Chains A and B, each alone.
Chain A
């Protein structure tokens, strides 16, 4: 069974750091781009960033709102994706989702989503 399980969410003060983890199972992790997306309370979805697949050197992309503060990385030996979040702001409060991407004929389908982990930035 294909599965993504996030962990690491919690309460952090503004300016603080937090590291989210996503454990992947049931598929060849290195063959897929992996994304992070988030959803603030009662708000819409926001794409956070991407770790491309192994054939593309695991290169990363970020939303402007997090660029320079967040870093996406992978540990292939653990089939895990990470989101290091630094200099956290109140507006980073959200449920964070780990997402598998399947590329089909040039289109990227975000086809498997984790259950999400809540991050609350508050003093």
Chain B
């Protein structure tokens, strides 16, 4: 299953609402997670099952979608949110990541 993320990068300001998308090449139901990665660090789970917020993750992060189209939204971008974001489908083996979206400071 191919996972396509868009955009590959975006520039935004603190306080902005940002949304990025992940599209699967076939129906993956709601078997999708979103991960945040900062430079030199391991990825961190934000959302699983497409829309369930991982414990401890701020509520400004939200996920939606099912089937082939998914979105991750940050309602009000904070300085610590400038990072890369990856989606991962866990519907079938082999699991596959999207190419990532890098969020940069405008």
Binding site for B on A (CB under 8 A): 35, 37, 44-47, 49-50, 61-64, 97, 104-111, 113-116
Verify B48–A47 contact, CB threshold 8 A: no
Interface string of B13-38 (1 = CB under 8 A from A): 00000000000000000110101010
Verify B48–A114 contact, CB threshold 8 A: no
Verify B49–A105 contact, CB threshold 8 A: yes
Verify A110–B52 contact, CB threshold 8 A: no
Verify B42–A47 contact, CB threshold 8 A: no
Q: Give Cα distance in the complex from A21 to B31, angstroms.
A: 28
SS class of chain B's interface: helix, strand, loop or mixed? loop
Verify A47–B43 contact, CB threshold 8 A: no
Binding site for A on B (CB under 8 A): 30-31, 33, 35, 37, 42-45, 48-50, 52, 54, 86, 88, 90, 93-100
Q: Give Cα distance in the complex from A97 to B100, angstroms.
A: 17
Whole-angstrom distance between the Cβ of B84 and the nearest chain A Cβ: 8
A113's partner among B43, B90, B98 (CB-CB below 8 A) is B43
| Cβ–Cβ < 8 Å partners of B48 in chain A | 104, 107-109, 111
12 contacts between A and B (CB under 8 A): A37-B43, A44-B99, A44-B100, A45-B88, A47-B94, A64-B94, A107-B33, A107-B90, A109-B33, A110-B33, A113-B44, A115-B42
